[in-house]
Amino acid sequence: MPDESRHRLVAIGSDHAGFKLKEKLKEEIAGMGYGVLDMGTDSEDSCDYPDFALPVAEAVSRNKAWRGVLVCGSGAGMTMVANKVPGVRAATCNDNYAAEYCRLHNDANIVTMGARIINEVQAGNIARTFLETEYEGNEPDGYRHAARLFKLEQVERKYMKEQ
């Protein structure tokens, strides 16, 4: 893990289904040396996932957080909300392969997980993989990823202009 990790802030949020797992992940992420910005929820009381996905996505989009972690029942709802925010590239990852490759090839900046799909050990491994994997688009062999990411950003800009 790079020394600068202690200076990197990870925004984290969940809905009621992901609350317990979020609490465990906060400990894991802090134990890796990263700062943690908890954006809620604060209990297992029923709540709406967009209310917690949006602040995490905005924190990442506005560079108030380096990366983000979101947890709901499946991971899907949080991903859908986060990806509405310009500059966010959220990916649902319920295994290490997805966590590694969304970073390597897509430079994802938010990972979402399903608390009803994976356990605490798996979630910790996914978070570690996501946070410690570097984007390879800046490497000579990775320029194809940078070109694809540029196209993704063009799509985002196109629809932002139409609004």
Is 105 one of the catalytic residues?
A: yes
Rounded distance between C-alpha atoms, residue 97 and residue 91, angstroms: 12
Contacts of 66 (CB under 8 A, 6+ apart): 8, 9, 10, 34, 60
Helix (H, G, I), strand (E, B) or coil at 53: helix
Is 47 one of the catalytic residues?
A: no
Which one of 16, 72, 93, 102 is the catalytic residue?
Answer: 72
**Helix axes 120-132 and 19-31, enclosed angle (nearest 10):** 50
Name the residues annotated as catalytic: 72, 105
